Amino acid sequence: MFFRPRLFTRCLAAFICLVAGAVTAAEQTLRVAILENSPPMSYRDTDGRLTGFSAEIIRAVCAEMQARCELQPIKLEHVLDALGSGEIDIAAVSLLDTPERRARILLAAPYFRSTSLWFAKPGVQPGDRGIRVAAVKGSAQERYARSQGWETVAVPTNGELGQPLLAGVAQAAIVPMITALALMKSKDFQALGLSSTVMKAPELIGNASFGISPRRPELKEAVDGALEKIKRNGVYERINSQFLPFRVH
């Protein structure tokens, strides 16, 4: 057997290409959509950088997956279409489990557990006649209100949920638990003197998950695994403490 330098060089080159390819594959780029005006879940900080509970969780998940994630803003009402068409790979948006969502997209393992609150003047009960209920367009809360036959006022973002009430367009709002925390800090909102109750409807309580494009089903296992890891290694708890006053999972 003779040593053949050229053959050896070619083999080495092929090997390097393979390894490089594998490294490239590991550092895949994912298009991640996120809500822009939904404090403290996701919002722009004073530097204009997207942050918040959902934003930092998805960053930690991407780091755990060793993937490069490009965050891009989206409105909740467009999430299902964007995921379905494959325009985005992941929606780092807290999605309650609804039949429509389950049918059209993949839901990752839950990253927190949510409830929904009823905000209204004292004495105004859910289902009262002649009231209009504010909800975010495309949200599970909006879906629930409509399914109950209530008149709704849709707003595009969680951050704007207080406005119909302040403007007197709506007399009540169904607000996701974490958005309620932000609303209650607003002086104007406090001044409305609304009372709040936790809604008992099972559609409005429970696991909230990121959405995954049905065109990228392999991502579900990776995202679930990464979530499981950060829940165990303390990263999740730190993010929880950073943005929210209590443990939400």
Partner 1 sequence: MVTREFRERYRARTAFVILATTFALLFGVVVALLAMDQHRVLEASQRLQQDTIPQIIRFQRLARNLEQIRQEGERVFSATTPEGRQQSLFLIMLVASHPSILEHPQSAEAARDAERFLIETGNLASGDRSQISQRHAEWQNISKRLSLLVDDLSVQGASLATDDLNEMVAVMQLARAKLIGALILVGGFLLLLILLLNRHLIRPLQRIDQTLSSLSVDQPAPEFPDARMAEIHAVEQATRRLHDSLAANEAARRELELLANRDGLTGLINRRHFMVIADAELQHTQGQGRPAVIALGDLDYFKRLNDTYGHAAGDTVLQAFALLLEESFRQSDLVCRYGGEEFAFLFPDSTVEQARALADRFRQRVADHDIRLPDGLLIRVTLCIGLADASKSTIESALHDADFALYEAKRLGRNRVIVAAETA
Residues forming contacts to partner 1 in the complex (CB under 8 A) are 113, 115, 117, 177, 180-181, 184-185, 190, 196, 198, 205-206, 231-232, 237, 245-249
Query: Cβ closer to partner 1: 130 or 202?
Result: 202
Q: What b/e readout covers 206-220, taking b as 16+ CB neighbours within 10 angstroms? A: ebbbbbbbeebeebb
Let me know: does 95 contact 110? Beta carbons within 8 Å. no
Distance (Å, whole) CA 35 – CA 44: 10
Q: How far is the CB of 18 from partner 1 (least distance, A)?
A: 33
- In the bound state with partner 1, the residue whose beta carbon lies nearer, of 83 and 177, is 177
Task: Report in angstroms how near the CB of residue 237 gets to partner 1 at its nearest.
Answer: 8
Which residue, 163 or 196, has its beta carbon nearer to partner 1?
196
Nearer to partner 1, 102 or 185 (CB): 185
**φ and ψ of 194, to 5 deg:** -80, 150
Q: How far is the CB of 110 from partner 1 (least distance, A)?
A: 10
- If one counts every other C-beta atom within 10 angstroms of the C-beta of residue 34, the result is 26
Q: How far is the CB of 183 from partner 1 (least distance, A)?
A: 10
Residue 117, beta-bridge partner list: 175, 198
- Other beta carbons within 10 Å of 154: 18
